[in-house]
Amino acid sequence: MTVLATFVWGWLLGAALLGFCMGWIAVVHRAQGVSRLWMRWLALLAAALVAASFARIVPGRFGYWLDLFLMMFALYLVGCAIGSWLRDWVVSRSKPAS
């Protein structure tokens, strides 16, 4: 993983920055969320992908792509969380006290 992060640090930084931007602009969300059934299936899929990555089940190029995808997706989600939290903090500070 360290070699992967050293080699593709630009892509990882880009994923984090893209996540930050998406978190910043997506604070106000009025659409219906994902159902509980879909959340469970998606969590199961994510757990299976992480387990396959740690167990080195997927060999060669596809294993490399799986590791890269998981790292980029994790950084994207962290960037989304930070961008959303920061936007909420900035907006809540700018509201007048009533």
Whose structure tokens read 């159902």?
A: 35
Domain membership of residue 6 (yes or no) is no
Q: Which domain holds residue 84?
A: 11-25+33-94
Task: Flag whether 51 is in a domain.
Answer: yes
In a domain, 3, yes or no: no
Kindly state whether residue 5 falls inside one of the protein's structural domains: no
Tell me the whole-structure pTM to 2 decimals.
Answer: 0.79
Compute the Cα dihedral for 86, 87, 92, 96 and give only its sign: positive
- Using left for φ > 0, alpha for ψ between -120 and 50, and beta otherwise, residue 60 falls in left
Does residue 4 form part of some domain? no
Asked if the structure places residue 56 within a domain, the reply is yes
Asked whether residue 16 is assigned to any structural domain, the reply reads yes
Cβ atoms of 33 and 12 within 8 Å: the answer is no
Residue 29 phi/psi, 5° resolution? -130, 115
pLDDT in tens for each of the 98 residues of the chain? 677 778 888 999 999 999 999 988 886 666 677 788 999 999 999 999 999 999 999 989 999 899 889 999 999 999 999 998 998 888 877 666 66
